[in-house]
Amino acid sequence: MKLSSGGIKILLFLLILSGGITFAYQILKPSPTLKIYQPSDINPRLVDSTLQAQQQNHTIADFNLIDQDSNQVSRKDFQDKIIVADFFFTTCPSICPKMSANLKMVSDHFVDETKLVILSHTVTPEIDSPSVLKQYAKEYDAKDNWIFLTGDRKEIYNLARRSYFAAIDEPSTEGPDFVHTENFVLVDKKGQLRGFYDGTSKIDSERLIADIQVLLNDE
């Protein structure tokens, strides 16, 4: 069936109108935002009892640790970066290999992004020396945006339990005072908590990638 010239004009008008509506929607639709988590928003089992009532202004604490190249690093070294934090140990036979594989996926996705850093904290610093962490990093072909940290055990555990709220404070099969958690934690450049993810889940790790992009877009 052939369209008349009038029909063609109407069809073109409708196509242009449809395109204009789509364009306007893309401009006007709200951008996704991420919640800023306070201790009072988080599962109380993850939060130290002295912090559970805190409803504002929580940021991760300063720290002084050592990376896989034996460099001393602190919070100030990453103050303008988005942080993804996790807690692992190199001899872990269960969840850690899955977590590291998923972190590699995240790292590789943002390999050229200078505003992001991944911080993997060992929870067995007495075993995981800088040289051990360096070998572990090689096994996963870790890029420059993925840093492995060791140091004082008490400081690392306080970070997990009182800054990132990544671990439930309860006895584990490894001992009465041992951090063993699958959580990835997303932190913005101000040190605020912006998301929690199951590090053993590829789907959750893909959600982490999407949320990192939201924070990058916000800048």
Report the binding-site residues for Cu cation: 92, 96, 180
In the DSSP assignment, the letter for residue 35 is -
Identify the sign of the CA torsion 170, 171, 172, 176: positive
**199: enclosing H helix or E strand:** none
Annotated binding site: 92, 96, 180
* Burial zone of 101 (CB within 10 Å; 0-12 exposed, 13-18 middle, 19+ buried): middle
* Burial zone of 166 (CB within 10 Å; 0-12 exposed, 13-18 middle, 19+ buried): buried
Of 198, 193, 218, nearest in space to 103 by CA: 198
